[in-house]
Structure 1
Amino acid sequence: MPSPAGAPPSPCDVLVIGGGPAGSTAAALLAARGRRVVLLEKDAHPRFHIGESLLPLNLRIFEKLGVAEEVRAIGVHKPGASFISDEHGSKVSFLFINGLNKDYTHSYQVKRADFDALLFRHAAARGAETHENTRVLSVALGGRQGHCITARGADGRTRAWQARFVIDASGRDTVLAQAMGGKQRDPHNNSAAVFGHFHGVAPCEDCPEGNITIHLLDDGWCWMIPLPGGVTSVGVVGTPALFKRRQGSFEQLLMQELDRSPSARARMREAELISPVTTTGNYSYRAKVMQGEGWLMAGDAFAFLDPVFSSGVMLAMASAELGAEAADIWLDDPARAAPLLRAFEGKVRRAIDAMSWLVYRINRPVLRDMFMQPSNRFRMRDGLVSLLAGDVHADTSRQLPVIAFKTTYRILSLLHRMGWHLRDGGLRRMPRGPAPAAAE
């Protein structure tokens, strides 16, 4: 397969596009199995990235990679998540230790620049050929005949590789999905985010130290994530109505929306912005297909969810782990790997669906009522904690409390349309007037 640059392409078993958590995980696992792996990253590590709050189910993958102690050393211990609602006048904390899965009961908050660099270096140490400042220009898929990938390095030169298998872990660049025209914005979740890093953010009173805190806003929600060195990541995710109010800079928008929440405003009173304010739109999307003959997508290259439940890095690394296993088998026996690749896609889609059920409803009154007044009847609260911990591949015994939670939500949604809402542990009649719609 000739290279557009004129020189013969360099052969490899697997070429991984993207040196974030998904790409570095897949590259490390495949290189450790003796595969010739090339890992291309468009930027240079360390580089800023959002998504700093990890989940307990990440820990299993850290152990498998052999980086658990290194991650612990750069992280802030995270025992759970706290939700704060000015409307309800209350806060509630969910501790991972109360979940149904007792194997992993904490996680970490990390600066993604350090975390991603750690994983990238680890992939190189396991034997992957790594290239930074190398942007993929084109991918010509050729099935079992191999794929030709061309990329431009920092020196402006173009290089090409002939890979037997391609893993697209390019994140929001979605290299393969863009090339195939198969990227679809999620119609259920039209949101955007604005965020930055601060010093001097006051801790949440009566919240466990290290928890991520979620402030529920009128048109969205706000995250506050404690990071090493006294830094706090603060961001607002909102609906189009929130962003239509912007009249000045994005920094002004961020501070304006935080000021609209009494609980958030109190914590930001002495805060000092120490980073540029960044924004991103069209937050949630999904590609039409996830895998094909000799290729697959992992992590955000396939789908991205609103980050309210911090699922991004966990879903990315878990899909990379599953994908690496399927790719390794495909390299030896494509026919035997075909059903495994289909199973891989199905498992990842189910995991995303499990988290998206909550994501789609976080701005609805009924779900907010249930979060702020959690009931453990039928172990619903414990099941919810397990889902918040990233236990999306749970066995049936751990799924039943989640099913009970969803059933209760549907019943309360029906009652909400009839004029009732959940307050003070019981149902209360709402004031006269049109009741808000609450779709299931």
Structure 2
Amino acid sequence: MTTEAKEANLPVAEPQVQDADVLVIGGGPAGTTAATLLARKGWKVVLLEKARHPRFHIGESLLPMNLPILERLGVLEQVRAIGVHKVGADFPVPDEAGTTHVFRFERAIDPQYGYAFQVRREEFDQLLFNHARANGVDARDEIAVERVEFEGDRPRTALARDKAGNAHTFRFRYLVDASGRDTFLGNKLKLKRRSRLHQSAAIFSHFRGVTRRDGADAGNITVDRFEHGWYWLIPLRDDVMSVGAVCFPEYLKQRRGDNETFLIQTLQARPSVWARMGDAERIAPVHATGNYSYTCSRMTGPGWVMVGDAYAFIDPVFSSGVFLGMNSAERAVEVVDGALREPGRESALQRAMEKRLKRGLGHFSWFIHRFTTPVMQHLFAHPRNDWQLEQAVISMLAGDVFDNRAVLRRLRIFRLLYAANALAMAPRAVRGWLKRRRQIGQSFDGDTLQAGNP
């Protein structure tokens, strides 16, 4: 009911039911990818985004394996125009001042692209949202889905409300949940599970005037460790740098004062990071978010599928979020299209999607859960390419963790190498393991940190 109708005490008709073949919840990269490709296959697609584009979002670093998806969507050149060219990832070596290992994507095993882009997510997401509209998607922002109603075990109706308070009802045949960390279905169906293996939180902002690397490496993402977690430095256009820290829960509990002060103190803890901040000026609010890692116990069900962060979110240390979202969206398109055309294939298509995506998530998660251990720090500080293991790790950093058997074989060998080094470094490794277990055992309230003021 509108405000005017309430004030005039006028009768208001029930909202008209709007029909669609597919309803997509969420207008980020995963949602727009799924919606665009489904519309191209001839389906009537409605996409609903609760926020208004453009809107700020973290996750600015794309992977080389994003680029074939962008090419298939038909937006690669548009993204190139708004992006910063990235040839690799920098990992400064702790305790070795001035030493940085650069993992260049061109050295991956069978690289499709030897580079990627850094993008401002407000620009990138809006580009994909507008592109979905241009491909026939009924894409609407500032309209939030409040409830989904099931008929039997299948979702059939969604109730949504726009910014003005007007109610909308949508009837659909298939639901794609691309709601990101809202995990709409995960919460409704009580599927969301906080990771017991990895908990952290992030604090970050945008700065102008941060020192960049020289030459071709000027666009690289920097991943730098410190005692309480790790930092990211992501170069963006117009001399802007996204700078943040992902920290262990017990460190964040030490916070005193406002978020800006805490972020600056955190950046000062690592000389190699702080040295680049000498002429920096903050140009955006300080944002903070907690309880980073989770997964849902199911990815699919009768008449629905989750994509991207709606299903799982792992620590962003390897910048996998946008790629995993868009990659899972492409797989979801195969499921939805196949199920709508041949309902009897739905279960088989869903099982194949889950098997493939969980395999890729598993490789990222394995590295991430061990990234701060002494063993992994040693291996990243002393990279070797025996049996092409360094190239396999670069392939993982590029996002090639699903179908390339040569990469997958070598990543399994890398795990054996990790185990051998863990035995050799047993006392130090045990201390690192015990420290992680203490950190995991700490409860962390995601509301501890609130967004600061500009």
Secondary structure of the 1:328 match is helix
- Do structure 1's residue 363 and structure 2's residue 340 form an aligned pair? no
Give distance in 2, aligned partners of 1:217 and 1:50.
21
1:332: which partner in 2? Answer: 341
Does residue 1:224 correspond to 2:243, yes or no? no
Whole-angstrom CA distance in 2 between matches of 1:137 and 1:290? 20
Partner residue in 1 for 2:8 = none
Alpha-carbon distance in 1 for matches of 2:397, 2:65: 10
Supply the distance in 2 between the matched residues of 1:397 and 1:58 (Cα, whole angstroms).
Answer: 20
Tell me what 1:84 maps to. Answer: 92
**1:276-328 C-alpha deviation (Å, 9 max, x unpaired):** 00000000100111101110000000000100000000000000010011101
Output one character per residue of 1:379-434: Cα deviation in whole Å (capped at 9) or x when no partner: 11000000000001133222222122111101111111156x9xxxxxxxxxxxx9
CA distance in structure 2 between the aligned counterparts of 1:172 and 1:56, rounded to whole angstroms: 24
Residue 179 in 1 paired to residue 174 in 2?
no
Partner of 1:425: none
1:250 is matched by which residue type in structure 2? N
> For residue 87 of structure 1, what is the amino acid of its counterpart?
D
**Deviations for 1:210-231, whole angstroms, at most 9, x for unmatched residues?**
1000111111000000001110
Q: Are 2:90 and 1:69 aligned?
A: no
User: 1:208 aligns to what SS in structure 2?
Assistant: helix
Q: How far apart are the structure 2 equivalents of 1:47 and 1:132?
A: 11
Structure 1 unaligned spans of 5+: 422-433
- The corresponding residue for 2:252 is 243
Alpha-carbon distance in 1 for matches of 2:375, 2:278: 31
Match of 2:50 in 1: 42
1:6 to 4, 8, 14: 14
Query: 1:18 aligned to 2:26?
Result: yes
Q: Which residue identity is paired with 2:342?
A: D
Amino acid at match of 1:154: K
Structural mapping, 1:120-269, within 5 Å:
120-142=129-151, 147-204=156-213, 208-269=217-278
Aligned to 1:428: none
Root-mean-square deviation (Å): 1.9
Q: Distance in 1 between matches of 2:358 and 2:408?
A: 16
**188-197 vs 401-410, greater mean Cα deviation:** 401-410
- Tell whether the 8 Å contact from 2:148 to 2:155 is kept in structure 1 after alignment: no
Distance apart, 1:436 and its partner CA: 4.5
8 A contact 1:56–1:106 mirrored in 2: yes
- Structure-2 separation of matches of 1:50 and 1:78: 17
Tell me, yes or no, if structure 1 residue 274 matches structure 2 residue 283.
yes
Aligned residue identity for 1:289: R
> Which sits farther off after the overlay, 205-214 or 87-96?
205-214
Return the offset for 1:87: 2.6
Q: 3-state SS of the aligned residue for 1:140?
A: strand
* 5+ long unaligned stretches in structure 2: 1-11, 438-454
Cα contact 2:357–2:402 (8 A) shared by 1 = no
Residue in structure 2 matched with residue 320 of structure 1 by the alignment: 329
Q: Give the C-alpha shift of residue 102 in structure 1.
A: 2.1
Residues 262 and 205 of structure 1: CA distance in aligned 2, closer, same or farther (over 3 Å): farther
Native 8 Å contact 2:148 2:156 kept in 1:
yes
Matched, 1:402 2:402: no
* 2:45 is equivalent to residue 30 of structure 1: no
Cα distance between partner residues in 2 of 1:5 and 1:186: 45
Residue 52 (str. 1) matches residue 60 (str. 2): yes
TM-score, normalised to structure 2, is 0.90
| Alpha-carbon distance in 1 for matches of 2:242, 2:226 | 17
Offset, 1:336: 1.5
TM-score (norm 1): 0.93
Provide, for residues 132-162 of structure 1, a one-character-per-residue CA deviation record: whole Å limited to 9, x for no partner: 1001100113368751101100111010101
